[in-house]
Amino acid sequence: MCGLTGFFSPANLAADAAEVVHRMSEAITHRGPDDSGVWVDEAVGVVLAHRRLSILDLSPAGHQPMVSPSGRYVIVLNGEIYNHLELRRELEVLAPHPLPKGAREQCGWRGHSDTETLLAAFEAWGIEATLKKCVGMFALALWDRETRSLTLARDRMGEKPLYYGWQGDVFLFGSELKTLRAHPAFRGEINRDVLALYLRHNYVPAPYSIYRGIAKLPPGSWLTLTADAPVAAPQGYLLRGVSPAPTFYWRARDTAQADMRRDLDDATAIDELDTLLRRAVGGQMVADVPLGAFLSGGIDSSTVVALMQAQSGRPVQTFTIGFHEAGYNEAEHAHAVAAHLGTEHTELYVTAEQAMAVIPRLPSLYDEPFADSSQIPTLLVSELARRHVTVSLSGDGGDELFGGYNRYVWASRIWRSLGWAPRPLRAALAGVLTTLPPAAWNGVFSGLSIFLPQRWRYPNPGDKLHKLAGILAVRSPEEIYLALVSHWQQPANVVIGAKEPTTALTDARQWADVPDFESRMMYLDQMTYLPDDILTKVDRAAMGVSLETRVPLIDHRVVEFAWQLPLSMKIRNGQAKWLLRQVLYRYVPRELIERPKMGFGIPLDVWLRGPLRDWAEALLNESRLRQEGYFHPEPIRQKWSEHLSGRRNWSYHLWDVLMFQAWLENEKRHG
């Protein structure tokens, strides 16, 4: 796990290019504190830099930028290629036959890093064929000295980040935006349209970034620039100053709608998933440094840890953060799972003051506005793990693949139950639901809880009823989904001068042709929420403390298997993640797992009314909002007033604005 950066300046490479890229590299030292390197080709204006967190091959043989033996390729790689030893064996089998000179020589191997393997594979098979063979998480930049071309590529699911774009006549790229900001050509113009998208989602969805002219490379894609682009550039190549057009070597859409549905019986499906997950987890346990796992006690992380322990000759190190506030603490569940599996478990209960002390670090850590408040416990558990290990496996991805979110059950159930009714009648029902504030509804449900079945006992039911009221008058099930995943429902009315761009959620042409609404929601979450929120949250928090994270549930072979399953194996009789649960029950008793789904959250609503109130008031000050000129103050101030009074819980909406305001303040401070 590392960080990469660089730039391509074919028109005019500055004399101090090496110094400039060194400063860019230093901006992401946290991603790779163990080693660094710079490579410059002054003749064509290409500059590469790398920060290394040593995981495989700790020797100098793993140093980057790395040059292939033939001298044709130079690479900087962030991530891990889990099947690189298999690729080595393939290359060694080919070695007696005619191969490009570099590949033939490469099979002598100078070390055992996956970067060296990747270079040999590019020499032997070319770029696209090699990417298709790779199993891993990665972002890379590859300079081809023969064709004078630069290729950027990213893993299938978007675990590793890669930003890029032209700023004037300089093409910048890097693992984080802060490394691009360190280049003198960087302009840093905030894109108001994207700011509106951020308010809707609480993150900036790909391919956009918060800055004009800077994009995120989509998962599963690659693009190439050439120093000698002809007037009519071939597909996949980029003319100077023109926005890139990525080429996809793997698409979630193709996987979702491929005609591969299988008629599996339950026992066979459970066996196959168990085997696939064992292989994925086992493949990601390879490291030359200490390794452990995050454990919340939920289905996903418990499955990963169980499969780790089943393949380990010693207790796996597991880590959990606990909170003293009722309704937000999963540590006791994690402790029970760890005790059953026999892991070496470490837990840390943090106070509200310790958690809130993290907040000033968030704007710099996340680089662009990011408002998933579970970023706070994610950073805390990453810090805890880093005291003991350098690599930690995470259980993210199970919800999107196996139907784990409550909305998959709720949205389809709502539409089936109410979609037949006239919209005016549904609007009237919404009015009834909002006559009581969420806190009052919580009290009602608390009093009735002993009479309710377990599956109906949700945390914060009042907020869920108010959210239900906001979607009753929709025209289609897709509108229900969009409303459920949106914070601000009309964000362009909040951001001054904004027009909300289309995304995968609002452009039906990007939807997968799948047989049911639940699968369509899972697909859209896999395309947007998973890479741009969940994986971004984990990557920045962990790499901010120099911890590598690995996410075995989204191994692309597991993803492809999940899309071959009927919906009934994911959601059965109202129970989410049915198939994944059956695998887990082979290792952990179901009584340790069966409980309502709990998010990895914090009591943000309470904190904003209490210890965070003064901090929030300063950032939401009406005169400040008007002076900065990004937001219309009225809707923000109204929600702030209603939240403080306790009439409504607007914590998510307010956190979106607060995280932008804190990020903007940080930009001004370091701009």
| The dihedral sign for the CA sequence 526, 530, 531, 532 | positive
Q: Which two tokens stand for residue 594?
A: 């069966």
Helix (H), strand (E) at residue 139:
strand 136-144
CATH of domain 257-402+524-592: 3.40.50.620
Q: Is the pLDDT of residue 560 over 50?
A: yes
pLDDT for residue 574: 87
Given pLDDT bands bounded at 50, 70 and 90, which one contains residue 421? confident
Averaged confidence pLDDT in the chain = 89
107 is catalytic: no
Cα→Cα distances 458→361, 377, 670, Å: 32, 21, 43
Instruction: Name the architecture of domain 2-186+220-250.
Output: 4-Layer Sandwich (3.60)
Instruction: Render pLDDT for 214-259 as a digit per residue (tens, 0 to 9).
Output: 999 999 999 999 886 543 333 444 445 565 689 999 999 999 998 6
Q: Is the pLDDT of residue 160 over 90?
A: yes
d(C-alpha 26, C-alpha 38), whole Å: 11
pLDDT for residue 238: 43
Rounded to an integer, the average pLDDT of 267-291 is: 95
Q: Is the pLDDT of residue 262 over 80?
A: no
Given pLDDT bands bounded at 50, 70 and 90, which one contains residue 60? confident
The segment with the largest mean pLDDT, out of 16-25, 405-414, 446-455, is 16-25
Q: Is the pLDDT of residue 155 over 60?
A: yes
Q: Which amino acid is at 20?
A: V
The predicted model scores a pTM of 0.91
- Please tell me which residue in 1, 2, 524, 558 is annotated as part of the active site: 2
Rounded to an integer, the average pLDDT of 533-557 is: 97
Domain residue limits, the chain: 2-186+220-250, 257-402+524-592, 406-522, 604-670
Given pLDDT bands bounded at 50, 70 and 90, which one contains residue 464? confident
Please give the residue that has the higher pLDDT: either 366 or 262: 366
pLDDT for residue 48: 98
Percent of the chain at pLDDT exceeding 90: 70
DSSP E strands, 384-482 = 391-393
End-to-end CA distance of the chain: 28
Q: What is the CA radius of gyration of the chain?
A: 25
pLDDT for residue 597: 62
pLDDT for residue 233: 38
Look up residue 202 and give its DSSP letter: S
Instruction: Render pLDDT for 183-200 as a digit per residue (tens, 0 to 9).
Output: 999 999 999 999 999 999
Virtual torsion, Cα 617, 620, 624, 628, nearest 10 deg: 150
Parallel, antiparallel or unpaired: strands 73-81 and 136-144: antiparallel
pLDDT for residue 231: 36
Instruction: Render pLDDT for 94-153 as a digit per residue (tens, 0 to 9).
Output: 765 445 555 545 556 888 899 999 999 999 999 999 999 999 999 999 999 999 999 999
d(C-alpha 93, C-alpha 164), whole Å: 37
pLDDT for residue 144: 96
pLDDT for residue 102: 52
pLDDT for residue 320: 95
Count, in order, helices (H) and strands (E) of the chain.
30, 18
Cα angle at 333 between 331 and 336, to 5 degrees? 110
pLDDT for residue 104: 47
Instruction: Render pLDDT for 516-541 as a digit per residue (tens, 0 to 9).
Output: 999 999 999 999 999 999 999 999 99
pLDDT for residue 66: 96
pLDDT for residue 617: 97
Give one DSSP letter per residue of 454-505, joined into a string.
GGG--SSHHHHHHHHHTTTT-SSHHHHHHHHH-SSSSGGGTBTT--PPP-TT
Please give the residue that has the higher pLDDT: either 307 or 94: 307
d(C-alpha 35, C-alpha 4), whole Å: 12
The segment with the largest mean pLDDT, out of 33-42, 87-96, 107-116, is 33-42
d(C-alpha 446, C-alpha 457), whole Å: 9
pLDDT for residue 459: 63
Instruction: Render pLDDT for 471-518 as a digit per residue (tens, 0 to 9).
Output: 777 778 888 899 999 999 999 999 999 999 999 999 999 999 998 999
Look up residue 572 and give its DSSP letter: B
